[in-house]
Structure 1
Amino acid sequence: MARKKSEWIDWIKALVIAGLLAFIVRAFLFAPIVVDGPSMLPSLENGDHMIVNKFSYTIGEPDRFDIVVFHATANKDYIKRVIGLPGEHVAVKDDTLYINGQEVEEPFLTSKIKMLEATQSYTFDFSIEDLPGRYSEIPENHVLVLGDNRGNSTDSRVLGLISTDQIVGKTNLIYWPVDRIRILNE
């Protein structure tokens, strides 16, 4: 009888430890998120399940073209791509991204822009001065984010610059649905 009781106690301890570890991993290291809407097409599709690495920016800073999850409102997180970094001037003219006046390629958009080139603009022209806040360059601890589907995305053009404090983490792993499993490198 004492042996059975000891086994039960061991099982309960193991389950409590496993639950505690799962909580720590989810709260501080990794969390699942589901893409909601078309704003990141063609890179991400509505319903893609992804893993957010919450730890990545604890030891580093966002890089250009990172796909990040951030708190857009108290109740809603958004997934967008980092385009502009602190100290930079950002503008888009004729579907071309300019950082500090230099043309920067966006390889994740190339095929989409070429497809639309003859009929319409993919990204309406703007510069950082046109965004909420009317900055001349991105201040420290802020980034400019855009959705890949520029015609259908609520991003920095509407929300303004995003504070790095709002960023939950970086994401680049799609784990569901099975036919879309991949790591995004761009």
Structure 2
Amino acid sequence: MVKRNPVMRRIRLEYFEWIWYTGIALLLALVVRTFLFQPVPLSGPSMLPTFHQGNWVVINKWIYALYQPKRGEIVIFYGPHQRIYIKRVIAVGGDIIEAHGGKIYINRKQVQERYLSHTYTTNFPPQKVPVGKLFVMGDNRLNSLDSRDFGPISIKQLVGRADLIIWPWAEMKWIGKVGDSR
């Protein structure tokens, strides 16, 4: 009859517990990243001065399952050629947007863009944003590929909303819900 070593049995049990808890943690991390929140690196100058090259932001992926996007929010979406873009919502479905004299107007009222230190927008004629679509623009208006180039985007193209800058540490801050920019 073989005697079982209680010490070895305990070591094996602890080993399997570690594997079990590590597997659960990895599964939870995968679920959170896939459906709830995801960190992403940013590149390009189109959102200066709000974001800088090399910033990392956390995307809130579930927010638009509960709420409609609002003017002023910063969204991440799939644009032309399935590239991922980050832009600010300027107008929502039903709005009439135009730019003249370097300023943006929504429904004939000038937009107060307090989130920008200075802004100048190239002129474009009035256009109505279709229901279910968003007119998005980069904060760096003179160096941004956005709805002025590829038209309003569908709400279905959204990946989520940028909620938090997490890198570099010195620039960490909540972006969150900016809301109506008028």
Same fold? TM cut 0.5: yes
SS in 2 for 1:112: coil
Q: Which amino acid in the other structure matches residue 93 of structure 1? A: H
Unaligned runs of 5+ in 2: 1-7
The aligned counterpart of 2:174 is: 183
SS in 1 for 2:118: helix
The aligned counterpart of 1:151 is: 142
Deviations 1:21-75 (A, max 9, x none): 0000000000011111000011111111100000111100101010000011455
Deviations 1:134-174 (A, max 9, x none): xxx21121100000000100100112111111100001311
Q: Which amino acid in the other structure matches residue 105 of structure 1? A: Q
The aligned counterpart of 2:10 is: 3
State the identity %. Answer: 41
The aligned counterpart of 2:164 is: 173
SS in 2 for 1:78: strand
Deviations 1:69-98 (A, max 9, x none): 001145521110000101111011112221
Alpha-carbon distance in 2 for matches of 1:100, 1:74: 31
Alpha-carbon distance in 2 for matches of 1:94, 1:74: 32
User: Normalising by the residue count of structure 2, what TM-score does the alignment of the two structures yield?
Assistant: 0.88
The aligned counterpart of 2:123 is: 125
The aligned counterpart of 1:52 is: 59
The aligned counterpart of 2:94 is: 87
Q: Who wins on radius of gyration, i.e. which is larger?
A: 2
Alpha-carbon distance in 1 for matches of 2:163, 2:44: 17
The aligned counterpart of 2:3 is: none
Unaligned runs of 5+ in 1: 114-121, 130-136
Map 1:20-39 → 2, pairs under 5 A: 20-39=27-46
The number of residue pairs the alignment matches comes to 170
Give every structure 1 segment of 4 or more consecutive aligned residues whose post-TM-superposition deviation is greater than 4 Å. Answer: none
Alpha-carbon distance in 2 for matches of 1:30, 1:171: 10
The aligned counterpart of 1:160 is: 151
Alpha-carbon distance in 1 for matches of 2:125, 2:12: 69
Contact 1:96 1:105 in 2 (8 A): no
Alpha-carbon distance in 2 for matches of 1:97, 1:42: 18
Q: Which amino acid in the other structure matches residue 30 of structure 1? A: F
Alpha-carbon distance in 2 for matches of 1:74, 1:20: 31
Q: Which amino acid in the other structure matches residue 178 of structure 1? A: W
Change (3 A) 1:38 1:100: same
Change (3 A) 1:35 1:128: farther
Alpha-carbon distance in 2 for matches of 1:180, 1:127: 37
Question: Alpha carbon RMSD of aligned pairs, Å?
Answer: 1.4
Alpha-carbon distance in 1 for matches of 2:43, 2:126: 26
